[in-house]
């Protein structure tokens, strides 16, 4: 059940955003334009859009930006927020309740459910029984669709277009769910070239790479940074997902994929560095003040993109 705002994934008229699979380029542009509009609306007007609605946030894995930006987005749109942080410990998951049952029940209390879960597919399956929109706020090593939407929104705002760009994704491409969703969204845009830069054991899962290529994305393995970086428009850096590694050997070679002043100097003047954050040691703070470092602007864009997604799925324009 793979859905954006397309017909796929509708059940009784309910639209979910649990994976990027069913999305279209039109969905992406609609949300980007809506995010642009929402960021200009006066506070009082904004607060009418979802007035009286209730958004539930269920986080079974840790989060700072995603949870707070979703909750702020909902509050700014006039909705109320109820939630369970650390839901593994503080919800009936502890008693063995399935996510499908949680969705049925919380769906009777709230108008949408934002959920982060440790398993990559469970929420995709469970969403099929949910009576209200389910929004994936990160699912294990699998996907993170709303992050991909704010990433693409940031590229569009920073560079004025998405099509035809050369994007290098660097770091942990194996367990990094934001990369999985981002590449699946980039494949919707013509002329995108993607270069993969990663430690030997942390490449993109093979089935994912094959599928993206079969669907037309130009995907290539990168060589030395000195050859690749001067040719990119976007450098999408990620952290090593240490909490998901199955062996410390997977870390071999990771230290080569860091960005400091030397790597920064290789990038074209118009290029942008993105990172879903949190950063650990893969971007030197000395890079932060360079205008090409777009990651803090990217995090701010998340608020407006999450507003747009909530507004659209819940019909904030009065639908």
Binding mask 25-64 for ligand ASP (x = CB under 6 A): ----------------------------------------
Which of these is catalytic: 43, 95, 207, 246?
A: 95
* 142 touches ligand ASP (CB under 6 A): no
According to the binding rule CB under 6 A, does residue 138 interact with ligand ASP?
A: yes
The catalytically annotated residue of 3, 19, 57, 66 is 66
Q: Residue 302, interface with ligand ASP (CB under 6 A)?
A: no
- For ligand ASP, the closer of residues 136 and 314 by Cβ is 136
> Min. distance of Cβ 277 from ligand ASP in angstroms?
6
- Which residue lies nearer to ligand ASP by CB, 166 or 239? 239
**Burial 72-99, CB ≥16 within 10 A → b, else e:** ebbebbbbebebbeebeeebebeeeeeb
Which of the residues 15, 49, 53, 144 is marked catalytic?
144
Nearest CB to ligand ASP, comparing residues 9 and 171: 171
Of 150, 161, 114, whose CA–CA distance to 296 is shortest? 150
The binder of ligand ASP chosen from 22, 140, 222, 276 (CB under 6 A) = 276
The mark string for 169-208 relative to ligand ASP (x by CB under 6 A, - otherwise) is --------xx------------------------------
Is 16 an active-site residue?
no
| Cβ atoms < 10 Å from Cβ of 64 | 10
**Is 218:192 a contact under the CB 8 Å cutoff?**
yes
Is residue 116 part of the annotated active site? The answer reads yes
Considering only CA atoms, which of 256, 250, 202 is closest in space to residue 229?
Answer: 256
Q: What are the tokens at 135? A: 């929004």
166 tagged catalytic: no
Count, residues near ligand ASP per rule CB under 6 A: 6
Closest C-alpha to 192, from 152, 147, 239: 152
Question: Residue 202 in contact with residue 173, Cβ under 8 Å?
Answer: yes
Of 296, 240, 286, which Cα lies nearest the Cα of 263?
286
- Helix intervals (H) in 16-98: 25-38, 43-46, 65-76, 87-90
Is 157 a known active-site residue?
Answer: no
Q: Give yes or no for a contact between 150 and 95, defined as CB atoms under 8 angstroms apart.
A: no
Site string for ligand ASP, 218-247 (x = CB under 6 A): ---------------------x--------
Which residues are part of the catalytic machinery? 65-66, 95, 116, 144
Residue ranges that bind ligand ASP, judged by CB under 6 A = 138, 144, 177-178, 239, 276
């Amino acid at each position: 059940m793979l859905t954006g705002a397309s017909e796929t994934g509708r059940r009784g008229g309910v639209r979910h955003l649990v994976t990027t699979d069913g999305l279209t380029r039109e969905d992406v542009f609609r949300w980007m334009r809506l995010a642009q509009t929402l960021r200009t609306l006066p506070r009082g007007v904004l607060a009418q859009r979802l007035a009286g609605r209730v958004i539930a946030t269920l986080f079974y894995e840790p989060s700072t930006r995603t949870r707070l930006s979703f909750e702020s987005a909902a509050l700014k749109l006039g909705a109320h927020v109820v939630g369970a942080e650390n839901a593994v410990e503080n919800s009936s998951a502890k008693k063995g309740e399935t996510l499908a049952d949680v969705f049925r029940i919380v769906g009777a209390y709230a108008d949408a459910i934002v959920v982060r879960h440790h398993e990559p597919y469970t929420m995709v399956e469970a969403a099929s029984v949910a009576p209200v929109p389910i929004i994936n706020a990160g699912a294990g090593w699998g996907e993170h669709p709303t992050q991909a939407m704010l990433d693409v929104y940031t590229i569009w705002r920073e560079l004025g277009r998405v099509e035809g760009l050369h994007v290098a994704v660097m770091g942990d491409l194996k367990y990094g769910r934001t990369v999985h969703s981002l590449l699946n969204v980039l494949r919707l845009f013509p002329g995108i070239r993607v270069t993969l830069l990663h430690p030997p054991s942390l490449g993109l899962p093979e089935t994912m790479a094959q599928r993206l290529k079969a669907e037309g994305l130009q995907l290539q393995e990168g060589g030395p940074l000195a050859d690749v970086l001067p040719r990119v428009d976007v450098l999408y850096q990620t952290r090593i997902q240490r909490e998901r590694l199955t062996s410390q050997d997977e870390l071999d070679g990771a230290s080569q994929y860091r960005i400091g002043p030397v790597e920064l100097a290789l990038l074209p003047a118009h290029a942008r560095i993105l990172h879903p954050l949190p950063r650990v040691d893969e971007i030197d703070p000395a890079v932060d003040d360079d205008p090409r470092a777009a990651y803090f602007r990217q995090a701010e864009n998340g608020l407006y993109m999450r507003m747009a997604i909530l507004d659209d799925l819940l019909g904030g324009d009065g639908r």
